[in-house]
Amino acid sequence: MTTTGKVIVWGVVAVLVIWGIVSMSKKDGTESETIKIGFIGPLTGDTANIGQNAQAAVAIAVEEVNNSGGVLGKKVEVVYEDDGCNGATAANAVSKLINTDKVVAILGGACSGATLGSAPIAEAAKVVQLSYCSTNPTISSAGDYIFRDVPSDLFQANYAAEYLVRNGKTKVALLTVKNDWGDGLNKAFTDALAKAGGTIVIADSFDPDVKNLKAQFTNIKAKNPDAVYFVAYTDASIAGLKQASDLGIKAQFFGADAWDDTKIWSELGSLGNGAMFTVVGTNSTDAFKAKMKVKLGKDDLIYCSNYAYDGLKVIAEAIKLARRATGPAIKDALYKVKYTGGVSAKELMFDKNGDPTSAAYVIKVAKDGKLSELAQ
């Protein structure tokens, strides 16, 4: 073989080797044509309306980011996984997103139990996980890579307790679901009510799959409270409020942020009249509301979706700031982000625990299947 022939052969071999390396690189996820971000949320089950609503908001955010040039010259792609509002299911979903889909960050979950159940997986892999709706106080200490853009229930419990006492509702019955979200609010509200000058006259709880709460409400009625602080997800809230009405309980019913699910009030109709709940405020715009209406095919914006939309934008901004899409770089950049112009809060920055540095709550009131903010 001539020298020229050898050069050609070795040149072909080199090209094949390089092509093989690139091909393998793409297969193992180290090089991708898109920047993949994972999403976990309850897309089925009791809280599916919340998860599906948030999914629609994220899809809008992705479209906007990509239409504006993407991130680091690449399009953003979101891989959606159903966590069923369950810790074990969420852990499996996060493991798949990290190990199979090779995502660079994860948005979610919505339910506190899902976030706490999956956080150790993300933390061990050094992949940022940013929750858009989980409020249990212990999430603050879940790990260096665990963030959220909604405030802790410590804020929510204080706000609720102070409002009730200020309005003469000092004797309060407490009924909470037995899970990470309910347990966190149980403790936070108990402490906050005592500090505000109120008294818990009876405290009870129920398993997440229980819908018959007549025994609990019968005991509550016997205590004749001024208010009932009822912490439950969608189906239990609908069933419980119906049962309380059947028992003739006249106390003020007061709930927490999960009551922002419009399914509760549309199904209850006038039976829900007068019920109140706290929810973290948003900075929602008419443009965002209109986009959500088009995406959903109905007018049904749940507050978590504002935070999911901004969460995707915040992760994208952190990647741009870091100039690379790796877990440690994204994590470090999030602490430097000062996000404004969103639809959740007017300004978003993270403290040393990965929590937002500020919180603003409102109270909503139900009337004839609709919700409105209470003027204060």
- For 53-107, what is each residue's pLDDT tens digit? 999 999 999 999 999 999 999 999 999 999 999 999 999 999 999 999 999 999 9
Out of 3.40.50.2300, 3.30.70.890, 3.40.50.1820, 3.90.1150.10, the CATH code matching 34-152+283-358 is 3.40.50.2300
Q: Are 34-152+283-358 and 154-281+362-373 in the same CATH fold?
A: yes
Cβ neighbours of 273 (radius 10 Å):
14
Residue 137 has pLDDT above 70, yes or no: yes
d(CA 79, CA 103): 8
Residue 32 has pLDDT above 90, yes or no: no
In terms of phi and psi (left: phi > 0; alpha: psi -120 to 50; beta: otherwise), the region of 52 is: alpha
DSSP state of 146: E
What tokens appear for 198 in the block?
Answer: 């109120």
DSSP state of 69: T
- Look at the block and give the residue holding tokens 């934008």: 313
Cβ(125)–Cβ(197) under 8 Å? no
pLDDT of residue 262: 92
Residue among 262, 240, 42 at smallest CA distance from 134: 42
What tokens appear for 232 in the block?
Answer: 């439950």
Mean pLDDT of the chain: 92
Helices (H), the chain: 3-27, 48-67, 87-99, 112-125, 153-166, 180-196, 214-223, 234-246, 262-268, 286-296, 303-322, 327-334
Sign of torsion over alpha carbons 30, 34, 38, 43: negative
d(CA 134, CA 302): 14
CATH architecture under which domain 154-281+362-373 falls? 3-Layer(aba) Sandwich (3.40)
| CA angle (78, 83, 86) in 5-degree steps | 155
- For 317-328, what is each residue's pLDDT tens digit? 999 999 999 999
Cβ neighbours of 210 (radius 10 Å):
16
Residue 11 has pLDDT above 80, yes or no: no
- Residue 43 CA, distance from chain mean position: 12
Residue 331 has pLDDT above 90, yes or no: yes
pLDDT of residue 204: 98
* Domain boundaries defined on the chain: 34-152+283-358, 154-281+362-373
pLDDT band at 312 (very low <50, low <70, confident <90, very high): very high
pLDDT band at 21 (very low <50, low <70, confident <90, very high): very low
pLDDT of residue 48: 96
pLDDT of residue 15: 36
pLDDT of residue 31: 60
pLDDT of residue 16: 37
| SS3 of the chain: helix, strand, coil, percent, to 5 | 50, 20, 30
End-to-end CA distance of the chain: 91
Q: Output the pTM of the full model.
A: 0.84
Q: What are phi and psi of 176, to 5 degrees?
A: -130, 150
